[in-house]
Chains A and B, each alone.
Chain A
Amino acid sequence: MYRYDEFDRTFVLERIAEFRDQVQRRLSGELTEDQFKPLRLMNGVYLQLHAYMLRIAIPYGTLSSAQLRVLAQIARDHDRGYGHFTTRQNLQFNWIALKDVPEILEKLASVEMHAIQTSGNCIRNVTADHFAGAAADEIADPRPYAEMLRQWSSLHPEFTFLPRKFKVAVTGAPHDRAAIKVHDIGLQLTRDDEGRLGFVVHVGGGQGRTPMIAETIRDFLPEEDLLAYCEAILRVYNLDGRRDNKYKARIKILVHETGAAEFAAAVEAEFAALKGETAPLPPDEVARIAAYFAPPAFAAMPARSEAFDRALHDDPAFARFAARNVHPHKVPGHAIVTVSLKPVGTPPGDATAAQMEAVADIAERYSFGEIRVSHEQNLVLPHVRRDDLPAVFAALSQAELATPNAGLVTDIISCPGLDYCALATARSIPVAERLTERFADLDRQHAIGDLKIKISGCINACGHHHVGHIGILGLERNGEEFYQITLGGSGDESCAIGEIVGKGFSSAEIVDAVETVIDTYLGLRNAPQETFLTAYRRVGEAPFREALYAAAQ
């Protein structure tokens, strides 16, 4: 993991002092709420429906046990005993008193954490593959680059007042677990013919009310040009991006309205001029940052584990967990474990203080003290010995964190929705909870197989419904909530925006409607191995539309 040095520490402490001054000016009345708003947003403080919300940055979703324990302590001391992990690998506390924020920031700083740029029209927390450094299919670890981007973008003097927010995601594997094509910049590590590391650069993806898949503007960007090229993209966007309409201000609109080729040419021209003017990325600096992310001291283990095989044979509950929540690791004899924050009937992504502490303890004992937050709102233990998997399963079960549903129908992404959010038009968490209750039967979930349901409570799409295999969008008409279903979306390397299947459903109807879609899929799939998405791509939306609306006609 990256470790702060004196410079990093001082930077964060100075930022806290600056924010404390801003909070004092707000509390004293020197600043109006309107004047204070952009200042608090720059430090992750939102005013929600009922209280202030504080969003804490978890850079590229990597946490240590010590950090997670402090988050648990903050949940106890300043919130209602829990926190909410978000689709941007961050953590939100929903019940915070403004006057407490500087103190919370100091507690965070004690474990090298902060809330800088978790909101505002700036470069947001950089996200990455949650299996980074562990995945069997990885070309290179994306986290050193995410960390360099984090540092470079922190309080950047030129790019702090962009037309709109700006999100960067980095992945080091061909299978995209970081949804890079729905980010403002999506970086994909690759090697050229000579084996040099570099990036495929995608720009202009995004969700929100105008979902778009990113355009590829560079097939190979050498590693050393990373910052200069990002600077060129940001400068073109800062100068040319629309500022007349908040809903047309994201870079995706600029790329779309300019045309990808012309936009790419503008970036290349700026990049050519910038080289030599801007901060270089010399190999020794890359090596210095990369050293922080060196693999932990893995023991040499045989690929097969007898303890694992025995548990698989003896314990059906473990077998079910292993089938869904255990993933291949690059080092023989090791595995990656998904810690599900999606038990039946609870808000997706919520974790209690006790659960955070349990994960911190388990990670310390079995995963080199390292935890990841996934954009799918789960936690991950990246480096577990296969021999230890039965013990990890038992410990997670005790903390109610072993639901064997990773990637299944109840592993739902949901935004906070109308229960918390001032922008929401409908509730989303209760829909997620009811869906998990409807599909609670684990045999049924496993029979359905891979299926991503994503729920947003308004068109801003924080719940990623556009890229859900089944997407649910909560809207409001005449004071009534209703829910639109989209089908066929995908956030990975086969990125696609879901298609609206027909008119919406009432809150009372939506769970039945989703069940109808799933039953239709089960009836038409070629084989149990044909996933929902594959089947949908084969047959299109007609059979689903028919099943959903035939009765009404």
Chain B
Amino acid sequence: MPLYRDGGFVEDDWLFPPDDAPLPASGKVAVSKARFSAERDTLLARSEAIGVVLEAGDRLDDIAADLSRLALIAIRFPKFGDGRPYSLARLLRDRHGFRSELRATGDVLRDQIVPMLRAGFDALEPSHPGTIAALHEKRIVAVSHHYQPAAAGVSEKAPDRHPWRRISVALP
């Protein structure tokens, strides 16, 4: 799947082994939350980076203590209208101080890219051809003036002294 990060498409160097497949001997691996919980010690003992893939309905409580040891969290949108990943992203960034890659996967569409980035996602894994093309060709038309601060770590400027107003610098 194409991976969009920092304003362009990049090579994805993460491996996503299915839950019933053995872990690859080497490489950066991201596993489901269930597998992470079951094989936590083995995973954390690996020398390479570890990530967790969350479903929209997952909660963060049982991985909160390990977040600083994760280099990737991917959250899957089962369909674009399921807004739970936005709240999970906010909690990860604002409450738990998660600063590593936060990736949106699943039903990632061009019309939701701005809220995804503002909620704290910094990598997108779209499968929708129109979205991929629009990102390639920088044809995303979106609002850049916002009435709420974005998640912690998102770079936006305050245009005036009113506390909730922000402007996106540009769509990356």
Chain A contact residues, CB within 8 Å of chain B: 7, 10-11, 14-15, 17-18, 20-22, 25, 30, 38-39, 121, 151-163, 227, 235, 238-239, 243, 273, 277-282, 285, 288
Contacts and interface: CB of A to CB of B under 8 A. Distances in A.
A158 B83 CA distance: 7
A155 B143 contact: yes
B80 A279 contact: no
A155 B147 contact: yes
A152 B146 CA distance: 9
A273 B90 CA distance: 12
Contacts of B162: 7, 285, 288
B92 to A, nearest CB: 12
A39 B109 CA distance: 11
Given A157-B118, A285-B163, A152 B148 contact: yes
26 contacts: A7-B165, A10-B145, A11-B147, A14-B145, A15-B143, A17-B141, A22-B111, A25-B130, A151-B147, A152-B147, A153-B147, A155-B147, A157-B114, A157-B115, A157-B116, A157-B151, A158-B115, A158-B119, A159-B83, A161-B82, A163-B83, A227-B164, A235-B87, A239-B84, A239-B88, A277-B94
Contacts of A282: 163
A38 B107 CA distance: 14
A503 B130 CA distance: 53
Contacts of B116: 157
A285 to B, nearest CB: 6
Contacts of B163: 279-282, 285
Nearest to B91: A235
Given A162-B83, A279-B164, A30 B130 contact: yes
Contact of B148 (A18, A157, A163): A157
B15 to A, nearest CB: 29
Given A121-B81, A238-B84, A239-B84, A160 B145 contact: no
Interface residues of B, number: 38
A158 B87 contact: yes
Contacts of A157: 86, 114-116, 118-119, 146, 148, 150-151
Interface string B106-150: 000001101110110000000000100000000001111111111
B83 A21 contact: no
Residue of A30, A153, A161, A277 with most chain B CB atoms under a 10 A cut-off:
A161
A235 B86 CA distance: 10
Contacts of A10: 145
Given A17-B141, A18-B142, A279 B148 contact: yes
A161 B83 contact: yes
A25 B151 CA distance: 30
A7 B143 contact: no
Interface string B26-51: 00000000000000000000000000
A7 B111 contact: no
Given A21-B141, A273-B95, A161 B147 contact: no
A30 B84 CA distance: 27
Nearest to A289: B162
B2 interface: no
B123 to A, nearest CB: 16
Contacts of A160: 83, 86, 115
